[in-house]
Amino acid sequence: MGDILIAEWLVEQGAEWRQVSDVIDGYVANQGRLDVLQWLYARGQIEKDLLLMLSAANGGHFHVARWVIEVIEPHDGGTRIDTFPAVVFAIHTAASHGHLEIAKFLRECTKEVDASELEGLDGVVVIGSIEFVSGKTMREAAEKGCLDVVQWLYHEYGHDVDLFVNNDGTPTNAIDGAAGNGHLEVVQYLHGFPNSSDLASRKRKRGDESAIRSVPTCTEAAMNAAASHGHLAVVQWLHENRTEGCSTVAMDDAAASGHLRVLQWLHEHRTEGCTTAAMKNAARYGHLEVVRWLHYNTRVGWVYERSYGRRGDEWTSKHREMAACASIGRMHCRCDELSCRTWRVRRRKMASRESE
């Protein structure tokens, strides 16, 4: 798609025009092919299409978004108010994908619309474009690590929109998302917000009676997710600067993902520990070094079937390392096969000598 020379040749040969669908328009805009859009528009194949704006914003193509605003809309018999809903939703789309330049440009376009013009527009609250930028926008920008977008959203919309709650009133926990993806700078920025009581005190001193907006929140899911994805620096920072802590999920998931350094650090600095899921999943996914470390440094034990009975319990307790390694073999581990086989043989010999 997008070969203009072939399209020109087909037209010259008398090929029949078919109305370009909105889906095709949107795809071309999402790919940033302004040349194709201009070619189609010059031949009357593009009508006013709000999908173009959203697709350009989603793909991060500023030149396409500007062209739609400056060329198509003014010459299509409409007014800015006609495209207002698409533009303001495109701000959310651009911001949540980290395309700050587009978000800023579109935001300026909405300021050209007088609030009085919005009175009769269905689905638009008379407070400008802020009803389309929400806590979801902030959360998605934070999850992607777009610090510049997070800062811009707060300074541009923070006075009018509660950027840290969902539409149902629950906290967005934006810090959790940023931490889970390893975006420490975003975590630190959001952490730096004053708490609700401090905000209320400042407003009272200024005589400001406006509503108190929410502040960024964090849960134990932040450290859990950071550990699961191997972001040790984030785990350490949360440990030193936040009070939410973590749960056994942190070590369990770190083990399952093979993040041995994270596992070791949590074991030394945190008290939550891990469960039998740590060794089971480390074995399942072939992390032999993690299985070894868990065997020598934790007391979580090995998961065995109840049908093994008491004797099975005693054997598994005594030979957890052998049980773990045997399980690795059964579960088609992704670790080095030779290393696993050598280790298994060595442990069998040791067990044999112990029984003599």
| pLDDT tens for each residue of 162-172 | 899 988 889 99
- pLDDT above 60 (res 75): no
Q: Which of 178, 256, 173, 168 is nearest to 215 (CA)?
A: 173
Q: Which domain holds residue 340?
A: 247-356
CA distance 261 to 264: 5
Q: 47 lies in a domain?
A: no
Beta strand segments in 131-290, E = none
The total number of structural domains that make up the chain: 1
Predicted pLDDT of residue 18 = 65
Is residue 91 situated within a structural domain? no
Three-state DSSP class for 129? strand
Token pair of 138 as six digits: 């902030």
Closest among 27, 30, 69 to 48, alpha carbons compared: 69
**252 in any annotated domain:** yes
State the average pLDDT over residues 123-137.
60
Contacts of residue 322, defined as CB under 8 A and 6 or more positions apart, other chains included, come to 344, 347, 348, 351
Say if 19 falls within a structural domain.
no
Residue type for 77, please? Answer: G
Candidates 127, 126, 214; CA nearest to 166 is 214
pLDDT at 291 over 60: yes
More confident residue, 227 or 195: 227
In terms of Cα–Cα distance, which of 34, 164, 143 is closest to 95? 143
Q: Is 343 inside any structural domain?
A: yes
Kindly state the average pLDDT of the residues 28-48: 76
User: How confident is residue 203, by pLDDT bands cut at 50, 70 and 90?
Assistant: very low
How many other C-beta atoms can be found within 10 angstroms of the C-beta atom of residue 133? Answer: 24
Query: C-alpha distances in angstroms, 23 versus 45, 51, 180, 285?
Result: 13, 8, 34, 41
**Could you tell me the pLDDT band of residue 123, with boundaries at 50, 70 and 90?**
very low
The first and second tokens of residue 100, run together, are: 């700050």
* Amino acid (1-letter code) at residue 100: L
Residue 22 has a pLDDT of 56
Asked whether residue 129 is assigned to any structural domain, the reply reads no
pLDDT at 129 over 70: no
Q: Is residue 2 part of a domain?
A: no
Beta bridge partners, 127, equal: 129
Amino acid identity, position 348: R
Asked if the structure places residue 351 within a domain, the reply is yes
Q: Which two tokens stand for residue 96?
A: 């949540």
Q: Are 178 and 221 in contact (CB under 8 A)?
A: no
Most confident stretch, 7-21, 70-84, 194-208, 246-260: 246-260
With contact defined as beta carbons under 8 Å apart, do 150 and 184 qualify?
no
Reduce the DSSP state of residue 280 to 3 states and report it: helix
Q: Of 325 and 275, which is predicted with more confidence?
A: 275
H-type alpha helices, 207-269: 221-228, 232-241, 248-257, 260-269
